[in-house]
Amino acid sequence: MKKFLFGTTALAAVGFAVLAAAPANAQTAPAPGFRSNGGFTVGISGYARQYVGTAQTKNANPANTDGVIDQHSDWRPIFNFAMPLPNGMTAGAVLQINPLANTTNNAGVSRRQWSFLSGGFGQVQLGQHDAAGVQMHVGSAEMFTGGTVKNGGKIFDFISGPSGNIATSNTSGTTNPDALESRSNKISYFSPRFQGFQIGGSYTPETSYDRNGVIANSTGYRNNWNIGANYLDTLGGVGVRAYGSYLQMGGDHKYALTNVQANSMKDAKHFGLGLGVQYMGFDLGGSWGKIKDGVINTVGNTTTAAALGTVGMDGTAIEAGLSYTFGVFGVGYNYFVGKNDAHTFTATGITPQPHGEDKRTGHSLSGRYVMGPGVNLEAIVFQVKQKTGLLLPTTGNVNDRQTKSTGAVTALILAF
């Protein structure tokens, strides 16, 4: 505990040092875009995020570094291209670069890339982008950029789970459909917004990304479709937001499968709902997500086909948060609970986890100071409990399958 208190004191010192060095005047706005030789308007945006944090975990694997200060980076340039067309439509493309990607695990330096056509009919997107339900998702607000306890965000890079790892399918980390197919190549449509309402849909041929010429031979999920709708409006001075989404994955089962995969290959489903209200600086919101009949599968890329695994994904996640913004300051509280039944499939049936569901709960209190346009200083304190339903771990405390992590992280966030 003394080691953790020392770490949080040091973090506070770092935060106040940055505050003291903050310029008194507001930062200037980003420079406007330029035009390419082909006539496209080109804009450059993105973010640079720098984190300093520490956490202490009870019953952690002794091999994990724990209770020390660490520094992480997360930054991403985004290139935006747009061309107004004579028929009134606009054509364009978006490229997100992840310079810190680990290409050895198929993360890819190109994080997302897609082209679009937009007009009075709405917008069509083609490429490597989030599904409609992910883009339309609403829930609680966050004061800490990069993710609090509610979505498996940056704070989870500072903590460790139960030894042997929690058999997480991301059901224990998010309420939106991103857990199942991530940023696979897909086709999406979004309608114009009418009286606050918008609908959208996505079709994903297979759970692979960076597709550029290799024929699909995936044994993972195929023919996935997602429909979503949301509502954003202000009624009597109260901001209201709502969302609903349904995702189904599977479809075509004709591809060569082992007996294990054939037994486990069902149409996975994800249901999602979200709601929030905002009034006089206060924001209250939350969301719910449920995965049914899912299986953890790899996400293939240009040269690697997606593969269906043998670990189940049947779980529910709920998150909620309350925040208050006053001038350039904001504070917020977020809560999350997620459960997942990570049973395994065999050629003869289903083997349940010996100790029940995996479970993750988390609380966080965060704050934000807007130093200038696009420049934030942020901080968060949190506690996360994780429990695995797997066999007793072989390292750490073999009598306890649950870890409890307490930590704090500060961040300098630049959005340009």
- Report the mean per-residue pLDDT for the chain: 80
In a domain, 32, yes or no: no
pLDDT of residue 18: 37
In a domain, 16, yes or no: yes
Radius of gyration over every alpha carbon of the chain, rounded to an integer in angstroms:
22
Total domain count for the chain?
Answer: 1
Residue 370 and residue 381: Cα distance in Å, rounded?
19
Indicate the residue type of 35. Answer: R
pLDDT digits (tens, 9 = 90+) for 153-176: 788 888 877 654 454 444 455 677
In a domain, 185, yes or no: yes
**Tokens representing residue 307 in the block:** 């593969």
pLDDT digits (tens, 9 = 90+) for 221-236: 788 899 999 999 999 9
Lowest mean pLDDT among 56-70, 81-95, 113-127, 196-210: 56-70
Chain CA centroid to CA 322, Å? 20
Indicate the residue type of 67. Answer: G
pLDDT digits (tens, 9 = 90+) for 187-229: 999 999 999 999 999 998 888 777 776 666 666 778 889 999 9
Exposure of 102 by Cβ count < 10 A (0-12 exposed, 13-18 middle, 19+ buried)?
Answer: exposed
In a domain, 26, yes or no: no
In a domain, 36, yes or no: no
Comparing CA positions, the residue from 83, 81, 85 lying closest to residue 96 is: 81
In a domain, 30, yes or no: no
In a domain, 31, yes or no: no
The total of other beta-carbon atoms located within 10 Å of residue 351's CB is: 12
Exposure of 151 by Cβ count < 10 A (0-12 exposed, 13-18 middle, 19+ buried)?
Answer: buried
- First-to-last CA distance in the chain? 39
Judged against a pLDDT cut of 60, whether residue 393 lies above it is answered with: no
3-state SS assignment for residue 392:
coil
Q: Backbone phi, then psi, for 123, in 5-degree steps?
A: -145, 140
DSSP 404: E
Residue 271 and residue 288: Cα distance in Å, rounded?
8
Judged against a pLDDT cut of 70, whether residue 85 lies above it is answered with: yes
The full 3-state SS of 302-340, as one line of letters, equals CCCCCCEEEEEEEEEEEEEEEEEEECCEEEEEEEEEEEE
pLDDT digits (tens, 9 = 90+) for 171-189: 455 677 776 677 788 999 9
pLDDT digits (tens, 9 = 90+) for 233-250: 999 999 999 999 999 987
Lowest mean pLDDT among 17-31, 57-71, 98-112: 17-31
Measure Cα distances from 56 to 2, 145, 332, 394 in Å: 10, 22, 22, 20
CATH of the domain at 255: 2.40.160.10
Which residues span the domain enclosing 64?
2-21+42-415
C-beta separation of 362 from 158 below 8 A: no
Indicate the residue type of 92. Answer: G
**Tokens representing residue 347 in the block:** 């050629």
C-beta separation of 115 from 126 below 8 A: yes
Runs of H (alpha helix) within 319-406:
none
Confidence category of residue 282, pLDDT binned at 50, 70, 90: very high
pTM of the model: 0.84
Confidence category of residue 262, pLDDT binned at 50, 70, 90: low
In a domain, 28, yes or no: no
pLDDT of residue 330: 97
